[in-house]
Amino acid sequence: MSFIELKQVHFSYDPEAATPVEALRGIDLAIERGEFVALLGHNGCGKSTVAKLLNGMLTPTAGQVLVDGIDTADESRVLDVRRRVGLVLQNPDNQLVAGVVEEDVAFGPENLGVPPEEIRQRVDDALRAVNMYDYRESAPHKLSGGQKQRVAIAGVLAMETGCIVLDEPTAMLDPRGRAEVMETIRRLNREKGVTIVLITHYMDEAVRAGRVVVMDEGAVLMDGGPREVFGQVERLKRHDLDVPQPTELVYRLNMAGIKLPTVPLSVEECIGLFEQYLALGRGEGREEIGDH
């Protein structure tokens, strides 16, 4: 059994309405422990609904969501679900509730009834894990956006969840804050084995995941490794979806007749591909790249 399973999940907002809005239409999705999954799609495609279903904030209109074998629709097990799956929202200010960083991180474990001495250890460990221990006595409102988001992640870690779902956590951050949060997420996944589900509009963030799930109109459109998914540029474009900029550049060059053998996902890969191409000594290749 997978750590998280969605089985034919439907979800409608206001299902009793004459014309209910169906946000999800029969989603099947399995996520294994330790995976890093990026969830992509247009606004309104159902990504945020999936995020809230994963930690029991919402329950399916039909179908089943299982977290570590627990049915999220079982009201008696809601806390057990949230001990396993934590949710980090787009705006960190909506999740910071205390006047001191360490008190904020302690809030979740306190609500779970964790003994005080264990809370102290969990808070320290969580803040160290996101490189915010030196700010433990600071006021959250004095922190940068990236620092606030790292404190929000620490609050989830202190609850000792095995999975963190992040709903566009970098959308309101500047480039430095984005980099801080993404490095934190990657390190938690790589070094501590935390399962990550990242909802993002940034393709450069998605390529860092081990798996990319693309949603469209409440259903899963594509599911695979970043290279497999982003290699299908035309299919993504038909659904008005973006690809990473290096991938887009090479796609356009291929369309212009400059045939390159692979799909780059990063700037570094793109540069390496051009160097390899030029090293072949093809004069016409040099001219075409210069002209385009």
Q: 94: exposed, middle or buried (C-beta count within 10 Å: 0-12, 13-18, 19+)?
A: exposed
What is the token pair recorded at 256? 């212009």
Give me the torsion for CA of 43, 44, 45, 50, rounded to 10°.
100
Say if residues 160 and 129 touch (Cβ distance below 8 Å): no
**What is the pLDDT, as a whole number, of residue 89?**
86
Residue type, 250: V
Considering the entire predicted model, what is its pTM? Answer: 0.88
Q: Which residues contact 171 (CB under 8 A, 6 or more apart)?
A: 90, 201
Q: How far apart are CA 186 and CA 200, in angstroms?
A: 14
User: What is the model's pLDDT at position 262?
Assistant: 83
Query: H or E element: which one contains 132?
Result: none
β-sheet bridge partners, residue 212: 38, 224
Q: What pLDDT shows up at residue 282?
A: 53
69 half-sphere exposure, CB direction, 13 A CA radius: 1
Alpha-carbon Rg for the chain, nearest whole angstrom, is 21
Averaged pLDDT for residues 47-59: 94
Q: Is the pLDDT of residue 87 over 70?
A: yes
Assess contact for 198 and 39: CB atoms under 8 A. Answer: yes
pLDDT for 29 beyond 60: yes
> Closest Cα to residue 9, out of 65, 69, 67?
65
Which CA distances in Å does 69 have to 2, 73, 80? 8, 12, 11
Dump pLDDT digits (tens) for 126-173.
999 999 999 999 999 999 999 999 999 999 999 988 999 999 998 888
Q: Give the pLDDT confidence score for residue 95 in this predicted structure.
A: 83
Q: What is the pLDDT of residue 20?
A: 76
pLDDT of residue 51: 94
Q: Give me 82's structure tokens.
A: 């949230």
Domain with CATH 3.40.50.300 in the chain: 36-59+75-225
Are 40 and 212 within 8 A, CB to CB? yes
Q: What confidence score (pLDDT) does residue 281 get?
A: 56
Summarize the confidence of residues 195-208 as an average pLDDT: 94
Q: Supply the pLDDT for residue 73.
A: 95
What does the pLDDT average to over 107-111? 89
Return mean pLDDT, the chain. Answer: 90
Owner of token pair 């990242």 = 198
The CATH class for the domain spanning 36-59+75-225 reads: alpha beta
Dump pLDDT digits (tens) for 235-281: 999 988 889 999 999 999 988 988 888 889 999 999 998 888 888 75
Task: Quote the crossing angle between the two packed helices 145-157 and 175-192, to the nearest 10°.
Answer: 20
Residue 286 is predicted with a pLDDT of 46
- Side chain identity at residue 171, one-letter code: A
Report the pLDDT value the prediction gives residue 75, as an integer from 0 to 100.
93
Tokens of residue 2, six digits: 């997978």
The tokens for 187 are 């390190």
Both tokens of 144, joined, read 């940068």
| Cα 25 from chain centroid (whole Å) | 21
